[in-house]
Structure 1
């Protein structure tokens, strides 16, 4: 799971296409200029400090690093790798967990 989607799995929501004119006054706008997160209880938080304070006050297991404040970030985009496994275990059993080699660049086999 994309770690930046964890807040949404915990019933947080994000408002986009909004502009904050003054405290409490939210108006729709054609372009994104602010990221506003809505908490599971419905509070609207507009800054990293507000979210961090809320997480601390509610003793949430979420951390501030899971929240994105870049207006241009597309949280709905999902990456699906289309690679071919070239070697199932490059460590030849020397590691506790197999380490696979994957080629996502081209269809060339291991050289």
Structure 2
């Protein structure tokens, strides 16, 4: 469930969320949206794979969290999203945790 940002009864009446609390809720809501999107994309990909023999196999494993990868990649091409640093990693192997390569990073 998404978190509602309380805006108060009237402008600047002090009954709404503080700016920090409001943006904490915004960040949590965007993380939920990213997770929902990843799950939906996986379901659609898996459904396509089940109905089309030309589809190249199961959907690529993906993980959305708030930290860098800390496990060995499950397969070549797996995707890991670190929402806290807005970083995306892709696996280039399946032997060690070092097989994750960062694709993009912003906000630092």
User: What TM-score comes out, normalization by structure 1 length?
Assistant: 0.20
Larger radius of gyration: 1
Q: Which structure: greater strand fraction?
A: 1
Q: Which structure: greater helix fraction?
A: 2
